[in-house]
Amino acid sequence: MLEINNLHAKIEDKDILKGINLNVKAGEVHAIMGPNGSGKSTLASVIAGREDYEVSEGSILLNNEDLDDLAPEERAHKGVFLSFQYPVEIPGVTVTNFIKTAINESRKANGHEELPAKEMLQKIREKAELLDIDRKFLSRSLNEGFSGGEKKRNEIFQMAMLEPKLSILDETDSGLDIDALKVVANGVNKLKSHDNAVVLITHYQRLLDYIVPDFVHVLHDGKIVKSGGKELALELEEKGYDWLK
């Protein structure tokens, strides 16, 4: 599904990613771990198409299609989803209106009619229930005045609504208490299927107790320095990152 080859990326002449190779197949969950400043969030942003970063070398393929020339919205239309570490507040636009706009833009881009209002409501209700989201929450302005947990839950709600092929969850566990973490993890687990893939970006092992990865990669100074199974995460928890440098 996702194939990253020798990816180099920089921002304002500062090299951040220095040759990443990553292969994620449908049905898999990958965790990318690493200390602060190792390039984890940059990798997430570059896959999603953030234009502030310049890809200087290498390629990102989604289902064998090169994403290089595609705008962020075009990548979204092809099934890429990025859950933000710091979701942005948009006053005056309700959660419902925002997700409705996002879904219909994707449908339009893929040559489908807009989703009829009734089906949209049905779907919203269903996914809100899945994530234990109060209906009142949906008519609030997007992320405005939301607690950290509410923001993250709202990200996963959007993921549930958009049904992406590739979901990248950037530090989804940060700012969550254990109950909120369980709800979010439970949601992600329920959304998992053999057709989609999840990349978890996290600093701590905690999230991986609830969303169990098939592969764990350690990112350091813009490169993947070690890959392994889920037991690698436990090893990192125990020993820290220093032994890998």
Binding site for other proteins (CB under 8 A): 45, 48-52, 71-73, 75-77, 80-82, 84, 86-88, 90-93, 96-98, 100-106, 109, 117, 120-121, 158, 162
Minimum distance of other proteins from residue 103's CB (angstroms): 8
Amino acid at 113: E
Phi, psi (deg, nearest 5) at residue 118:
-65, -45
Minimum distance of other proteins from residue 212's CB (angstroms): 26
Minimum distance of other proteins from residue 202's CB (angstroms): 19
Nearer Cβ to other proteins, position 4 or 44? 44
DSSP 43: H
Judge whether 165 and 195 are in contact, CB under 8 Å.
yes
> Residues 48, 187, 147, 80: what is their CA dihedral angle, to the nearest 10 degrees?
10
Minimum distance of other proteins from residue 171's CB (angstroms): 15
Minimum distance of other proteins from residue 191's CB (angstroms): 16
Q: Which residue has the tokens 């998992």?
A: 192
In terms of DSSP H, where are the helices of the chain? 40-48, 72-77, 95-109, 117-130, 135-138, 148-162, 178-191, 231-239
Q: How far apart are CA 75 and CA 125, in angstroms?
A: 26
Q: ∠ CA(15), CA(22), CA(173), 5° rounding?
A: 80
Nearer Cβ to other proteins, position 119 or 177? 119
Nearer Cβ to other proteins, position 141 or 186? 141
Nearer Cβ to other proteins, position 93 or 244? 93
Phi, psi (deg, nearest 5) at residue 135:
-55, -35
Nearer Cβ to other proteins, position 121 or 212? 121
Q: How far apart are CA 83 and CA 178, in angstroms?
A: 19
C-alpha distances in Å from residue 85, one per residue of 115, 200, 232, 239:
29, 11, 23, 25
Nearer Cβ to other proteins, position 99 or 218? 99
Judge whether 11 and 208 are in contact, CB under 8 Å.
no
Nearer Cβ to other proteins, position 79 or 213? 79
Minimum distance of other proteins from residue 162's CB (angstroms): 7
Minimum distance of other proteins from residue 120's CB (angstroms): 7
